C-alpha cells in the first residue's frame, strides 16, 4: 500500500547537496498502470492501482533485458528526472526535478504509514501547491502529455 501526498515546488531551492538518484521511466500500460524504471544501476517493474492519495503498489526488480524489452513496447513518452532525498523530521521528502520536455517542473512527494498521518501532515512552507488529487500531475499522465500542466486550467 502506498499512501503519499504530492506538491509542486514553486520556489528555487538549494538541493544540490542532497543525495539523489537519476531515474528513467516509461509505462508499459497506462490502465492498469504498469511502469518500468531505471533507478541507479537497478531496473524495476511497478504495478499500481488506480487512486489518488492511497494506492496498491507492487514493485519487482527485473533484469536489464526485460527492462529494455518493456521500454521498447511502452505507451507514451519517457520521463527522466533526478530524485533528491531530503530528511524532514521522521519523513523523507522526495524531490523530483524533471528533465527533457518537462524541464522546469519540480515536485515533491511525502509517503506516510496511514491515511490519518497523511491527513494530519502540515507541509513545510517550501512545498507549494498540493497536486495529490490533480490527475494531470500523475507521472503516467506527464509521460503521456510530455508537457507541464498549467495550474490555471
pLDDT per residue over 71-121, tens digit each? 999 998 999 999 999 999 999 999 999 999 999 999 999 999 999 999 999
Determine the pLDDT at residue 153: 56
In which band, very low, low, confident or very high, does the pLDDT at 63 lie, cut at 50, 70 and 90? Answer: very high
Residue matched to cell numbers 502540515: 122
DSSP codes of every residue in 123-140: --TT--SB-TT-GGGSHH
Domain spans of the chain? 2-145
pTM, entire model: 0.93
| Residue percentage of the chain with pLDDT more than 70 | 98
The mean pLDDT of 12-30, rounded to a whole number, is 95
Q: How many CA atoms lie within 13 A of 91 on its CB side?
A: 19
| Cell numbers found for residue 98 | 524533471
In this prediction, what percent of the chain has a pLDDT beyond 90? 86
Enter the CATH code of domain 2-145. Answer: 2.40.320.10
**Would the CA dihedral through 135, 43, 13, 119 be positive or negative?**
positive
**pLDDT at residue 76, as a whole number:** 86
152 has pLDDT over 70: no
- Among residues 5, 15, 4, the alpha carbon closest in space to that of 87 is found at 15
Q: What is the mean pLDDT of the chain?
A: 95
Which residues are catalytically annotated?
27
Amino acid at each position: 500500500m502506498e499512501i503519499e501526498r504530492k506538491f509542486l515546488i514553486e520556489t528555487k531551492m538549494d538541493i544540490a547537496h542532497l543525495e539523489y538518484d537519476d531515474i528513467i521511466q516509461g509505462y508499459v500500460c497506462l490502465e492498469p498502470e504498469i511502469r518500468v524504471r531505471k533507478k541507479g544501476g537497478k531496473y524495476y517493474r511497478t504495478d499500481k492501482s488506480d487512486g489518488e492519495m492511497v494506492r496498491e503498489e507492487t514493485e519487482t526488480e527485473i533484469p536489464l533485458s526485460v527492462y529494455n524489452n518493456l521500454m521498447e513496447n511502452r505507451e507514451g513518452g519517457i520521463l527522466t528526472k533526478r530524485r533528491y532525498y531530503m530528511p524532514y523530521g521522521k519523513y523523507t521528502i522526495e524531490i523530483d526535478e524533471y528533465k527533457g520536455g518537462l524541464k522546469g517542473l519540480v515536485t515533491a512527494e511525502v509517503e506516510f504509514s496511514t491515511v490519518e498521518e497523511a491527513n494530519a501532515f502540515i507541509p513545510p512552507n517550501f512545498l507549494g501547491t498540493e497536486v495529490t488529487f490533480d490527475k494531470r500531475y500523475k507521472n503516467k499522465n506527464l509521460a503521456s502529455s510530455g508537457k507541464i500542466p498549467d495550474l490555471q486550467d
